[in-house]
A and B are shown apart, each in its own frame.
Chain A
Amino acid sequence: MPQIFPKRANLLPTLTAVGGLGGGLFVIFFIWYYFSPSYTDVGYAPVQPVEYSHRLHAGQLGMKCQYCHNWVEEAAHANVPPTQTCMNCHSQIRTESVKLVPVRSSWATGQSIPWVKIHQLPDYARFAHNVHVANGVGCESCHGRIDQMDVVQLAQPLSMGWCLQCHREPEKHIRPQSEITTMGYVQPPDYIARNLERIRTEGIQPPTDCSACHY
């Protein structure tokens, strides 16, 4: 009987095995990497209605974070300031600036400035700023070097796995209360021992059960 397939068809089983195995691993890797927020979301920097620069205000002028985001220590939600907060200064400084036209018109009309939200958690994940700020999580840890951003961008993936990294090993991430708002904070060499001591004395136990955030 004549051959149905040429001799090189003998490669097919090997190719199938390698392709099947490699393809399966590739699909898992592809989804794990390219579908994760660290690929899809980090670096998100939408155009804001006002050309407001954190680099200028928080970096060069050295304003405290809490001057504008004044609920952060008391409330779950760290607020975006009302137009009034801007006008505290800008009713006197750069009152003719073109960049500030939307702020002044908001002030005149009473319509809020439509800031675009960047750090967007899903509705089913609850996050409280006050608890984290009170337990040694610095602003920088989640929001990155705000003092160097002209336009605010998402610095961290805010994925569940990313949250859990700190919840499982807080001693690697927390800082003293005096350094919460510090940008570019460098941990001292003995920081793990220091943090463990604080965790013990203050009883810091970040939960890792589902209902800690999903309820």
Chain B
Amino acid sequence: MSTETHHKTAVHALDDLPLLGRDLSFHEVTELVAHHTEKKTPTAWFGAFALANAGLLLLVAMIAYLFWNGTGVWGLNNPVGWGYAIVNFVFWVGIGHAGTLISAILFLFRQQWRTAINRSAEAMTIFAVMCALIFPGIHVGRVWAAYWMLPIPNQMEMWPQFKSPLLWDVFAVSTYFTVSAVFWYVGMIPDLATMRDRATTTLRRKVLGFLSMGWTGANRHWRNYEKAYLLLAALATPLVLSVHSVVSFDFAVSIIPGWHTTIFPPYFVAGAIFSGFAMVVTLLVIARKIYKLEDIITIGHLEKMNIIILLTGTMVGFAYITEFFIAWYSGVKYEQYAFLNRAFGPYAWAYWTMMFCNLVFPQFFWFKKLRRSIPFMFAVSITTNIGMWFERFVITVTSLHRDYLPSSWDYYTPTWVDVLTFVGSFGLFFTLFLLFLRFAPMVAIAEVKYVMPQADPHYYDDHGDGHAGDQAAKLARSSHHAS
């Protein structure tokens, strides 16, 4: 092997994937990410935060109004006993799927491109699950009895119904939340230590020192850290698939035509990943621009996410069509009616909104040009989330509004309280996300560094002789000049 080819393979192994927009040094990566938490709070951030807080206040006001008056302020009626609360719950839990998929499954599959986006995607996951958890909590009517959802010893000797998927759901979502939060925090420790070491005030050093748990970057720390991270990834991986499967059981285990289908678990998981990735694209397209992270979160990263949106969108669309086929093939007329009613009944407008947003629009991502177009992907990420919200609306409401007894058929219309509670949940989400952008390292600094070319032990070995060559000196000089 000649010297030159050896050099090429050594550097190229990592160069193959253009993971960074330009040639950055380790220090530049730290600077690019960490300085956003260190600079003076920008006025624009305060503006955005005020807006998000207004939304949060709206949510609190709507919940207070609901608690005072009872669930009668919602648009629920007799056949439609599940409305916005369950739709919003499934919508937010679904969004909460991308983060752990990116950080756990892509980690196990050694997808190095995940490093640029995993931190913010995980944050999004945790905040989305928090938004989701509000809805089952407030929909019970008697909120002071909400703790009945948990198996806690009580004087009534009353336990939750262990045969009910609604209880499985409580366990699935709370486990998912806990594991995601732990995973997120553990992954952040080295970066928090980096920020601690850069801190200029005592308070900042103390807070970050507390949160980074005495991390020094010692070999032993890295060893324990990587083992813990791997184990958590392995633990989180089945959860990514199980959580939305269990959420789908809420519907599939019942005997309502339109809900009682075996396709639900995989179809819900695909839909969840679809909507989760769309939300990541929505957030990151904006964040990378404002925080000037285009060289870390590159167009290549966004393209890869768009490919996943295309894949899962197609899977979801396939499931929609399969449901129709099975309804026809089953020969059950109630089943057939439920699906015909879905597409051509009073809620056809919602059904076709869903179909266009989820099945049609993502198909444009077959074109590379559109996959890499920021305005286009932003538009599709928005329509995808609209479509996925409508999917849950279609499943929940159209299946219920015409039950077995035609005399009780009714049309469900949400009230202003329903709508404003949903709007307010975005206020909570963006409040938390803005706090994250302001105070936490929004990109996994350490992880980005170890997929950079410099992290390759052979990177400085120009001549393939096991010794660092001229390039090392050159690089050291150039990075010195850059900083």
Which A residues contact B (CB, under 8 angstroms)? 1, 4-5, 9-10, 13, 28, 31-32, 35-38, 157, 159-162, 164-165
Contacts and interface: CB of A to CB of B under 8 A. Distances in A.
Given A10-B214, A13-B213, A4 B205 contact: yes
B156 A159 contact: yes
Contacts of B156: 159-161
A32 B209 contact: no
A36 B214 contact: no
A1 B152 CA distance: 48
A161 B205 contact: no
A36 B153 CA distance: 11
B63 to A, nearest CB: 24
A32 B154 contact: yes
Nearest to A165: B157
Contacts of A13: 213
Contacts, number: 39
Contacts of A10: 214
A160 B153 contact: no
Given A5-B214, A35-B155, A160-B157, 4 more contacts: A4-B209, A5-B206, A157-B155, A160-B156
Interface string B143-156: 00000000011111
Given A1-B197, A13-B213, A160-B158, A28 B205 contact: no
A167 B213 CA distance: 53
A32 B153 contact: yes
Given A1-B197, A10-B214, A13-B213, A36 B205 contact: no
A32 B155 contact: yes
Nearest to B150: A28
Nearest to A27: B152
B209 A161 contact: no
Contact of A37 (B155, B197, B214): B155
B157 A161 contact: yes
| A-B pairs, 10 with minimum CB distance | A161-B157, A36-B155, A160-B156, A4-B209, A159-B155, A32-B153, A161-B155, A164-B157, A161-B156, A4-B205
Contacts of A157: 155
A164 B374 CA distance: 63
A35 B154 CA distance: 9
B209 A38 contact: no
Nearest to A157: B155
Contacts of B213: 13
B207 to A, nearest CB: 10
Contacts of A31: 152
A38 to B, nearest CB: 7
Interface in B120-170: 152-158
A140 B324 CA distance: 65
A5 B155 CA distance: 45
A28 B150 CA distance: 12
Contacts of B158: 160-161
Nearest to B157: A161
7 contacts: A9-B214, A31-B152, A32-B153, A38-B155, A160-B158, A161-B158, A165-B157
A153 to B, nearest CB: 19
Interface in B195-239: 196-197, 205-206, 209-210, 213-214
A160 B155 contact: yes
- Of B154, B197, B210, the most chain A CB neighbours within 10 A belong to B154
A159 B157 CA distance: 9
Nearest to A5: B209
Nearest to B202: A4
A61 B155 CA distance: 37
Given A10-B214, A160-B158, A28 B197 contact: no
A161 B196 CA distance: 53
B154 A161 contact: yes
Nearest to B212: A4
B155 A28 contact: no
B215 to A, nearest CB: 12
Interface in B176-211: 196-197, 205-206, 209-210
B206 A4 contact: yes
Nearest to A40: B155
Contacts of B157: 160-161, 164-165
A9 B212 CA distance: 13
Contacts of A37: 155
